Amino acid sequence: MHLAGGPLRISEIAEKMRLVQPHVTRQVQQLERRGLVRRIGDPNDRRVSYIEPTDKGRAAADRYARTLIGWFTGAISHWSARDREDLGRLLARFADDVTAHLAALDDT
């Protein structure tokens, strides 16, 4: 949701995370209880609701991302610029290959 660009249905979250829907439902319920996400009803279909982060949830996700990036940046800060560039290039290649592999699995 944080990177999705808008509210998502639980089924969409499950699909994107490659998890079963009941597991995502339980996690969303916990996040709701903590005030990190909220449900928004679909005006065209009362059976459907979308999940979106609250301001508190967005702030928590932003803190988490900044902390994680800061930690990894610190861990490789002593690497040469060339080594950091190589890592970035290889991680991008890895992500592209994993994405292509998952897409191929979806096609089968």
Does 101 reside within a domain? Answer: yes
Does 3 reside within a domain? Answer: no
Considering the domain architecture, whether residues 96 and 72 belong to the same structural domain is answered as yes
Q: Each residue's pLDDT tens digit in the chain (108 positions)? A: 456 678 999 999 999 888 999 999 999 999 999 999 999 998 888 888 999 999 999 999 999 999 999 999 999 999 999 999 999 999 999 999 998 998 888 777
Considering the domain architecture, whether residues 68 and 98 belong to the same structural domain is answered as yes
Give residue 40's domain range: 8-54
Does 42 reside within a domain? Answer: yes
Does 26 reside within a domain? Answer: yes
3-class state of residue 71 by DSSP:
helix
Long-range contacts formed by 22-28: CB under 8 A, 24+ apart: none
CATH number, residue 25: 1.10.10.10
Number of domains within the chain: 2
Classify residue 25 by burial, with Cβ atoms within 10 Å: 0-12, 13-18, 19+: middle
